Amino acid sequence: MSYSITLGRTHHSFATLGELMARATPLRSGDVLAGVAASTAEERVAAQFLLADVPLADFLRYPLVPYEDDEVTRLIIDSHDASAFASISSLSVGEFRDWLLKYETTGETIAAVRAGLTPEMVAAVSKIMGNQDLVLVASKLRVITAFRSTIGQQGRLSVRLQPNHPTDDIQGIAASILDGLLYGCGDAVIGINPATDSVEAMNRLLHLTDDLIQKYEVPTQSCVLAHVTTALRCMEQGSPVDIVFQSIAGTQAANKSFGISLDLLAEAHKAAVSLERGTVGKQVMYFETGQGSCLSADANHGLDQQTCEVRAYAVARAFDPFLVNTVVGFIGPEYLYDGKQIIRAGLEDHFCGKMLGLPMGCDVCYTNHAEADQDDMDTLLTMLGVAGCNFIMGVPGSDDIMLGYQSTSFHDIHYLRQALNLKPAPEFEQWLEKMRITKQGRLTPVEPMNPLLAHGRV
């Protein structure tokens, strides 16, 4: 299936649907590095014109990654709901965009067709949408999940408290957790990236966070972001595992480079559900994604990085996750060169994830060698808040001293909650009032006899 158009005196031709998708993608350095990006702005516009006329049904007829070669493609095709797709099956990509932007198309309307959408359909429509389009449509969508706290409700913004330490020092991590809780952060999860991916290290951190949660009756959940196989071994030993983490990608080959498969994720999901540690819900998986992972693994099948990214969301939604977030600027300028590209990618990822029914958060972040700064992150943070992002990161001082990148701080959360009148998760909001950390929703000066400080340490 080829596509062609003449603009002015120039004829543009694209040999496959995958090539058309890649050329239509807004500029990003990763696609240039992979040799799939449009060579000029005119070629990009030509591809976007043509993509707008592609029937949505073509993405079912012409899989971008062969069915027989890739288990992610098989998951996408085999789980497609034709009845949910029926009402929009006659639309082109451009008509689908127009339908999404209508006043009459509500979040409930979109949710009704969600099971009929493939990641490629959603990626395609995002490529012909402006930033404000991505924000508007995402703001219509709510994806609510629960474990010990309820995430994603209208008018609420949650936080992953990220107390990483370069040597997994227990006191250093505990101090960061205490700091975050006193700033009203942690209702999404207390999530620690261990410096060492071992059963011993994970067990030590699991017991630290579980002891704290139990002692102070914090309505939240913990997660140590070790490999899924490490989590399985910890569960076998009876460790207090709340949420199981794994980085995922959009092709079988890229997931293999992560040391995972769909069967392995299913095994971990089943094991975590069986522990029944949730109190208000039972979603137990936490997935992280990021544009560029398939390219960096040489596993993109000639596709652009954003299309590969959205295919990862098909993997995520197969396991009913509690949390999903794009670590949008973490992979570096080789894939997202500057603030403009990071902002665009973050809005795309959030929109596409929500369209596919995922509880999307975002690590609003950049590496120090990217052409980006905190002002760029403030812009993305604000736009994601307007778009209804489920959660963001809370990192002490916004500088992750273990992973070595810049994210959002405890103070940034309060900026967004104040500016947009957002609240924490309802269970966590009540706990903050009970613990005298907030009063009528506002942070209060920490009292010397606050229960969290009563013994001088967590």
DSSP state of 26: P
Q: Are 148 and 429 in contact (CB under 8 A)?
A: no
CA gyration radius for the chain? 22
Q: Are 59 and 76 in contact (CB under 8 A)?
A: no
> What is the pLDDT at residue 453?
81
Dig out the tokens for 352 from the structure. Answer: 């596409």
First to last CA, the chain: 62
> What is the pLDDT at residue 1?
80
> What is the pLDDT at residue 454?
67
Q: Are 80 and 116 in contact (CB under 8 A)?
A: yes
Q: Are strands 158-161 and 150-151 parallel, antiparallel or unpaired?
A: unpaired
The CA-CA-CA angle for residues 404, 406, 412, to 5°, reads 145
State the sign of the Cα–Cα–Cα–Cα dihedral 268, 324, 224, 212: negative
In 418-453, which positions are buried (b, 16+ CB within 10 angstroms) versus exposed (e)? Answer: eeeebbbbebbbebbeebebbeeeeeeeeeeeeebe
Q: Distance between CA atoms of 208 and 170, rounded to whole angstroms?
A: 8
Tell me the one-letter amino acid at 395: V
- Can you give the three-state secondary structure of 38-107, one letter per residue? CCCHHHHHHHHHHHHCCECCHHHHCCCCCHHHCHHHHHHHHCCCHHHHHHHCCCEHHHHHHHHHCCCCCH
Sequence-ordered list of residues with C-beta below 8 angstroms from that of 263, at least 6 positions apart, any chain: none
Cut 0.75: pTM above it: yes
Dig out the tokens for 244 from the structure. Answer: 């199981």
- Name residues of the chain where pLDDT drops below 70: 454-458
CA atoms within 13 A on the CB side of 18: 15
Q: Distance between CA atoms of 368 and 264, rounded to whole angstroms?
A: 34
Residue 95 buriedness (CB in 10 A; 0-12 / 13-18 / 19+) = middle
Taking alpha carbons only, the member of 17, 27, 164 closest to residue 93 is: 17
Helix axes 119-127, 93-101, angle to 10 degrees: 80
> What is the pLDDT at residue 456?
47
Q: 139: part of which helix (H) or strand (E)?
A: helix 131-139
The SS3 call for residue 24 is helix
Dig out the tokens for 91 from the structure. Answer: 């639309």
How many CB atoms neighbour CB 302 within 10 A? 13
pLDDT tens for 3-13 read: 999 998 999 99
Q: Distance between CA atoms of 242 and 315, rounded to whole angstroms?
A: 20
Backbone angles phi, psi at 270, to 5 degrees: -60, -40
